[in-house]
Structures are given as C-alpha cells and as structure tokens.
Structure 1
Amino acid sequence: MLNIGCRLAALLGLAVMLTGSATGRPGDPAPPGSNPIIRDKFTADPAPLVVGDTLYLYVGHDQARGDEMFNMREWLVYSTKDMRHWTTHDPIMQVADFKWAKQDAWAAQAIRKNGKYWFYAAVEHDDSHPGKAIAVAVSDSPTGPFVDAKGSALITNGMTPKGTHSWEDIDPTVFTDDDGTTWIAWGNRQCYIAKLKPNMIEIDGPITEITPPHFEEGPWLHERGKLYYLTYASLDRTTQRDEHVSYATAPSLAGPWTYRGLLTGPGKSSFTIHPGIAEFRGVWYIFLHDASLTIGDQKGALGRRSVTVEYLSYDEKGAMKPVIQTDAGVSVPPP
C-alpha cells in the first residue's frame, strides 16, 4: 500500500505535464481524446464493450439540476473507432421500459453472447420488492434499442439478505469466461458474484460474497493472461473523503481473490468514481468519471458527473500500474 501510494505521488508531476488546457466546457478547443470525453451531456458509470473495430461506451445520463443528488432516467451509448472521436447514438433505454421498476437508471454494462447483446442495469424496484435491483435487457444491436428480457428483476434485495442496506444490489459487471460461462458481480459495501444460466436471464447456483478490502461499489471484471481482475470503487473510511479505485486478482472467477491495493486516486471534484476496463486495438484503457464538466450554468457535482479515459498498463507480473487522471487523457501517446 505504501509503495503504491508513493508511486502515485511520484507520477503526479508527469500528470501535470500531460494535462491540457481544456476547462470541460462545450466549445473549448480541447484536442480529440482529452477529458472529459463527452462534453454536451453529464455522463457517469462508463462501461466499454469492444465489437470488432469499434468500442461502444455505455453510460448513465446525469440530469440533476441545482442541488439534486441524482436524477437518472435513461442510458446512453457512444462509439469510437480511434478513441479520439465519438459518435452519439440514440438513447438505448429508459428506466420506464422496465415496467416493474420505478426510478433510477443507475450503472449498467452490456455484453455480447449468442449473437445478441445483453444489458444489465441497476434500478429501484417497485414496492413489491423494495430496494435496488438488477434488470436485464436484450437487443440485436449494440446500439439498441434494448427491451426487458425477463419481465422481472434478475436480482432483488431479498436475494442477498446478509447485506447491510437496501441499495447493496447495484452496479452489475458481467464477464464470459473461456469455458463459455458468464458470471455477474455487483454490490455496494458488499460485493457478490454468481454464474448466469445460458439463457442469460437467470442466476445459476449460489450467490457468493467476495467483498475485498475497502469495497464501496462499481465492480468491474476482466481477464488478462492467466489472471482475473476485480477492479472497484473503494473507500477507506478512516483516511479518505472520496472514493478511489482499488483492485484484486484471482486465478479463476471462483477465487480466491487477493487484494492488490490502490489503482487511482479520486475523480476531480467527485465523491464517486466508477471503473470500466477494455483492451482495444492492442491497447488497454480504463474509463472513469469525475465532476469537472461545466455545461451552461450547471457545474459538475455529485449528480452531474463526466466520463474520462486513461491508458492502462501492467508490469511484468501482471500488476496494474497506478493510473493518474489527466485532462489530456488519450489525446497524447501512451506513457
């Protein structure tokens, strides 16, 4: 932990050199690929999906006004072929499309399997199953539209009774292993993992708690080489005010998971942070969010976040190297 913290601090000087002049306002002459990458809307909880020569980025749409904390009613998707220029697509789904949900289009992730695109999202369930829940939708296209694939929640608060609060069942991440089995992990304060049935709309077997140190929310699963990675928003409540990003590794998705320490510091002006990781055209990237964007009279805030992207690299043993968040983003070559 101390060594990683020192490496983060040592890289801070490099971050200053890499930051550009972008202020985060629409119309600024910011170079393509600089942060935040979407400047006409407030976006959060980035989830990348690579399909062929295109990277699709699924995000929540922050619509909070004034002092509102969160106001999220829809999910958006953007696409790129070069990581610098982004194409805007129509909204892929509204929270109202899940008839059993009453609000909160929170963090989501899409995955491709069996020729279809499956979309897992956190919402607030109606009063029949109070608390947060995880929904699943499906589409023939990565840009939607998506429709409710099940007609009911995949995961409800009642399925994880050991949790400490009603919003523990949020922030799903999905990953298909080499044997074709798809896994889903999720959580707030507690982190859970389970297998999905081949139909992609039912849990297959037990739900297991795998909570790593300082786990707060926003888990993300990926694989590189012979290691599996669980990256997540972390918060050491004794020493930190805002969420950071930490990670753990395992020899298989069944565990055991070993804590590897901090990966990033907090997002600029933001209590929350949310990692999404992808390899695209031979380069690894980590997507995050902060609250640096200003649109008109609306400044960044807890309910008005903005998605960013940075290069991600690994050492010879597979450890992820500390990531410093910059204004320059990927507008400059990898370090």
Structure 2
Amino acid sequence: MPNKGLNDPHIHIFNDTAYVYASHDKSIKNRKFIMEDWWVWSSPDLVNWTKRSVLNPKDTYIGQDFTRCWATDVAYRSGKYYWYFSEGNQQTGVVVGDTPVGPWKDPLGKPLLTSELTPTDEYDMAVFEDNGEHYIIFGVWDYYIAKLNYDMISLAEKPRKIIINNPRGPYNQDGKNLEKPTDDKPFVHKYNGNYYLSWGCFYAMSDNLYGPYDYKDSVIKQESFAKGYDAPTWPNGFLQGRHGSFFEWNNQWYYTYCDISQTGNRYFRDTFISYVHYKENGEMATIRVDGVGVANYKANQKIEAEDFFKAEGIKKQESNNGFVIKTIDNKSYLNYTNVTDIENKSKLIIKAKADKGAKFSIKILKDSLNGELIGFKTFLTKNSIDKFSDVTLNLRKLNQTENIYLIIEQLTNNQLKIDSFSFSK
C-alpha cells in the first residue's frame, strides 16, 4: 500500500484473513508526526489490501481531535476483539468490537494503562496470548509486562519489569548508551518453545515469558537491502524506526515494519513485509528488504523454495547458502501465489536433492490443491546425496499471473530437499 502513511503495523490472522492494525501518518507533506486516527486494513493474500475500519479519537475516552494516535495492537477472546491504542507516548486505551473491524466501543471511558503506573511511559503496547492467557507489554527503554484479566480490560497483576541482558538498539549499537539501551514499541512472539522480545528490528530470546531475555541480534543488516531500498532512512541509520510485529500464517513466518526509503519522509512511513526464517539455534536469519515483498513472485527471477505462501508436510532447514525446504511427510505441498510474467514459460526447473535411489512424483497445479494439472513428473534420483540437481517439468500454457501449487509425493519414503526453482521458455 505505497504512499498511504500506514505505519506501526501489527498483523493478526482472523478467519484465514490478514488484518493490519496500524497508526496513520496524515500526509507526505508532514514535517512532524501528525497521526489523527487509527486504521484497520485486511487482505486475503498479503498483497491486495482493503481499508476496513477507522477509529477516531473522538470515539474513545480522548473525546476530541488528537494528532498523536500512536501504535496499536489487538487481541481476540470469547467472541470479542479488543483493540488497544496509544494516547501519544503517555497512556494506553482499549476499545472492543464483535468483529475484527468493529464497530468499536470504549468500555472503560478512561485509560487502561495510566501514566503513573510504572517508571516508563505506558504506550506502544503489544498483546501476547500464551496457553489461553493474555499479557500486555509496553514501555520505552525499559519494558513492563502484566497479565490481563479475563475481561481483557483490566490487569490481573502489577506490571513487572522485563530484564534484558546486554541490550542493543538504534541509539545503542555499541552497548554503551545506558540511558537509551533499547527503543520504544516492544513486541513478543513465540516460536518452537522460545519467547522473542523485539523492539523494531532488534530482538532478545528467553525460555520464560517474563524473562530474563538475552539480546541476540537485529534482523536487518546492510546486506538486507535490494538496490534503491537502503536509503533514505532515519537520522540514526537504517536500524532506527523499524516499528512492527512478527506473525505466522500457513506455516510461514513474517516481519512487518516501517520503512521510509520510498517516501523519503520519516513522518510519512510505509509498511513493508519480509519473510522470516529461523536458524537451527532458534535465532532469526537476516531478512530481505525489497520491492517484491511477500506472496509475490516473478517468473523471470529465481524463487527460493522457503519463501512459500502456504505449505504442509515440509520443514525449513538451514543450509550453507541460506535455507532449503525438505519433505517430512509422504505427501506434501508448496503454494506460491501471484506468480507474474509466467505466460510465455514452458518449463519449471527445480533445484532438488535426495538420497541416491529415492523416487518422487511432483505435480504442478493451478489455483488450488484440486486445480488444473499443468505439469507432472516422476523421477528417480541418481546423484550423490550432497549435490543439488535440476529436475525439469514441462508446463502447459499459462496466463500472465498464476497461483501455483507443487504437490510432492515420496514414493520410496525418502526426503526430498528443494533449494529453489525457476521458469524458462
């Protein structure tokens, strides 16, 4: 959604639809942060988005026009959706609705998190669900966490400070800035038993939600950027201002975050989405920042297998040059949506590897798992286990843009690894 000013994105999946709850920079002419309302947009595929809901501060306890409608997050419980919002950098309120897009009511008529609650500022919250319980995390430089009551509009406990060992941040890249060790906009997600506390593109890990957390890394590095996406950026460099969230959908993980490389104005931000891949030690690999985005594929370029939109029966695996996918069930599939410039392609070339003597079948379908068959091949691997080789499938005539499914069947109960694939004439 270029040039809309949608920023501070939190994406959640409800009813197999992606919803982004976000702040809204008013104009590309802004010379300071002017944010007059909050937005909800939705998408069936992370590519095509529709604005669904606007929350005006007049319809909350704020009760008047307001230009500091800062970051938000949402949670679902027992048929209700709870949308939390920042009153500038001071307090946090909440509205509730019966659908992911409202209509919204302010059930408290006052802030949920008040400015005197903790030594930090009570804004830029995240809400995290774990084992049926919900927690709210908030603050700047130091973060606090508290369990929410079942009503989702009151605290079940006094907020606790989260300890982060050896933190870094956009203002503290060498670890020496004790006054500003992290940033604002905390977020928490969980993967494979580990808790990840992030602030922008920096993150720490713990085996306990309450911490302590050990700082690990930033998911954005200089090598992240495609040409034309590394500048312009914030006064403290490309690591600053990357407010956002991590989310999972269809067995794929993503990071959505703020960017100003295309607007050139730090007060009128875009939202980007990148794939997230986890290393064997649980740390996150460096992401890619480009104009292709996610769930979008170009048939004139190599497509990395791990960058799927949907998948079942597969697992990502760290490799020498990044990541590959491997089959873990006798039948599995990979889905790549919005494959463009494909109408003149007649071959699909897959970089694959398996044990010598393993036998597989691969079907290529359009639009769904029961869609039209456009390619098929059964093959026996003849190469050594350590070598990726080309597996070529002939394709039937295609349209300019297609939704492609790869159906893989292990005929000899051996795993197949796929590094990437490409199309040719």
Please tell me the residue identity of whatever aligns with 1:177: D
In structure 2, the partner of 1:133 is: 91
For residue 191 of structure 1, what is the aligned residue in structure 2?
Answer: 143
In terms of fraction of residues, the more strand-rich structure is 2
CA distance in 1: counterparts of 2:36 and 2:102, whole angstroms: 16
Deviations 1:38-71 (A, max 9, x none): 1251111000011131111111110146352111
Identity of aligned residues (%): 29
Q: Quote the offset at 1:99 in angstroms.
A: 2.8
The counterpart of 2:204, out of the listed 248, 261, 268, is 248
Alpha carbons of structure 1 residues 122 and 326: separation in structure 2 relative to 1, 3 Å: same
Q: Determine whether 1:281 maps to 2:250.
A: yes
Alignment correspondent of 1:27: none
> Residue 126 of structure 2 is aligned with which of 162, 173, 189?
173
Find the aligned partners of 2:185 and 2:43 in 1 and give their Cα distance: 23
Counterpart Cα distance in 2 of 1:280 and 1:246: 22
User: 1:140-198 CA distances to partner (integer Å, 9 max, x unpaired)?
Assistant: 010122221211101112111x33xxxx22211001111x2210101112211111111
Contact 1:291 1:304 (C-alpha < 8 Å) held by counterparts? yes
Mapped partners of 2:61, 2:194: distance in 1 = 39
Give me the whole-angstrom Cα distance separating, in 1, the residues matched to 2:10 and 2:155.
Answer: 22
Q: Give the Cα separation in 1 of the matches to 2:135 and 2:142.
A: 17
Which residue, out of 209, 218, 224, partners 2:185? 218
Tell me how far apart the structure 1 counterparts of residues 136 and 115 of structure 2 sit (CA, whole Å).
Answer: 15
Q: 1:98 aligns with which of 48, 60, 68?
A: 60
State the distance in 2 between where 1:201 and 1:282 align.
Answer: 31
Aligned length: 269
Contact 1:191 1:215 in 2 (8 A): no
Corresponding residue for residue 148 of structure 1: 106
Distance in 1, matches of 2:289 and 2:10, equals 17
SS at match of 1:157: coil
Counterpart AA for 2:199 = Y
The structure with higher relative contact order (CA 8 Å, sep 6+) is: 1
Aligned equivalent of 1:39: 2
Which stretch of the first structure deviates more once superposed, 305-314 or 115-124?
115-124
Tell me, in whole angstroms, the C-alpha distance in 1 between the residues paired with 2:2 and 2:211.
39
Q: Which residues of structure 2 form unaligned runs of 5+?
A: 168-180, 223-229, 235-240, 298-302, 308-322, 324-425
1:120 maps to 84
Q: 1:231 aligned to 193, 198, 209, which one?
A: 198
Which residue of the partner structure matches residue 73 of structure 2?
109
SS at match of 2:274: strand
CA contact (8 A) 1:195 1:203 kept: yes
The CA distance in 1 between the partners of 2:280 and 2:117, in whole Å, is: 40
Unaligned segments of structure 1, at least 5 residues: 1-37, 125-130, 234-244, 295-299
Greater Rg, structure 1 or structure 2? 2
2:91 and 2:111 in contact (8 A); partners too: yes
Deviations 1:88-137 (A, max 9, x none): 2232x11222233663111001111111101111114xxxxxx6100111
Which range is displaced more, 307-316 or 325-334? Answer: 325-334
Secondary structure, counterpart of 1:264 in structure 2: coil
Root-mean-square deviation (CA), in Å? 2.0
Q: Deviations over 1:247-278 (max 9, x none)?
A: 11111212221111222149753432212111
Q: Secondary structure at the match of 2:45?
A: coil
Contact 1:64-1:70 within 8 A present in 2 as well? no
The alpha-carbon deviation at position 73 of structure 1 amounts to 1.2
TM normalised by structure 2 equals 0.60
CA contact (8 A) 2:163 2:211 kept: no
- Contact preservation (8 Å) 1:268, 1:290: no
Determine the C-alpha separation between the residues in 2 that align with 1:184 and 1:118: 12
1:200 maps onto 2:152 in alignment: yes
Per-residue CA deviation, residues 207-264 of structure 1 (Å, 9 max, x unaligned), is: 112153131011111111211111112xxxxxxxxxxx11111112122211112221
Pick aligned residue for 1:79 from 9, 24, 42: 42
Q: TM-score of the superposition, structure 1-length normalised?
A: 0.75
**Which of 269, 276, 285 is residue 305 of structure 1 equivalent to?**
269
The one-letter code matched in structure 2 to 1:152 is K
* Partner residue in 2 for 1:157: 115
> Within 2, Cα distance between the matches of 1:324 and 1:174?
26
Q: CA deviation at 1:323?
A: 1.4
Contact 1:56–1:78, Cα closer than 8 Å, also in 2: yes
- Relative to its length, the structure with more helix (as a share) is 1
- Alignment partner, residue 257 of structure 1: 213
